[in-house]
Amino acid sequence: MTRRARRNSSPTFKAKVALAAIKGEKTLADLAQQFDVTSQITRWRRQLLESAAGVFGSEAKLEATAPVIDVKTLHAKIGEWRWRMIFCPARSARPAF
């Protein structure tokens, strides 16, 4: 008896299967046969229902994930590059990092 290799399903495929399960037009057995998966359908459906609220979450979460920008450091770097372009035009073509 040979074992079937483990498959890694893409998130789009999982969403497609979970949405089909939520619709309820077919039984889980029919969906398992149609999409060639075994017991994951119920888990994917539950995960989709639990995390669906996150899609329509508040904007505060989006702002919290944005990186913090240090404006003073950026202005200092711009000033340094401007100085190099004015006083060292030959070396300004290649920035020193």
Give yes or no: residues 21 and 44 share one domain. yes
pLDDT for residue 59? 53
pLDDT in tens, 48-80: 888 887 777 665 555 556 677 888 988 999 988
- 26-30 average pLDDT score: 87
Q: Is there a contact between 37 and 10 (Cβ–Cβ < 8 Å)?
A: no
Give yes or no: residues 41 and 18 share one domain. yes
On whether residue 61 sits in a domain, the answer given is no
Give yes or no: residues 44 and 73 share one domain. no
Domains: count for the chain? 2
CA pair distance 76, 39, nearest whole angstrom: 57
Crossing angle between the packed helical segments 40-55 and 28-35, to the nearest 10 degrees: 90
Q: How confident is residue 92, by pLDDT bands cut at 50, 70 and 90?
A: low
pLDDT for residue 56? 74
For residue 92, the enclosing domain spans 68-97
On whether residue 1 sits in a domain, the answer given is no
Sequence-distant (6+) residues with CB within 8 A of 32 are: 38, 39, 41
Return mean pLDDT, the chain.
Answer: 79
User: What does pTM read for this prediction?
Assistant: 0.51
On whether residue 2 sits in a domain, the answer given is no
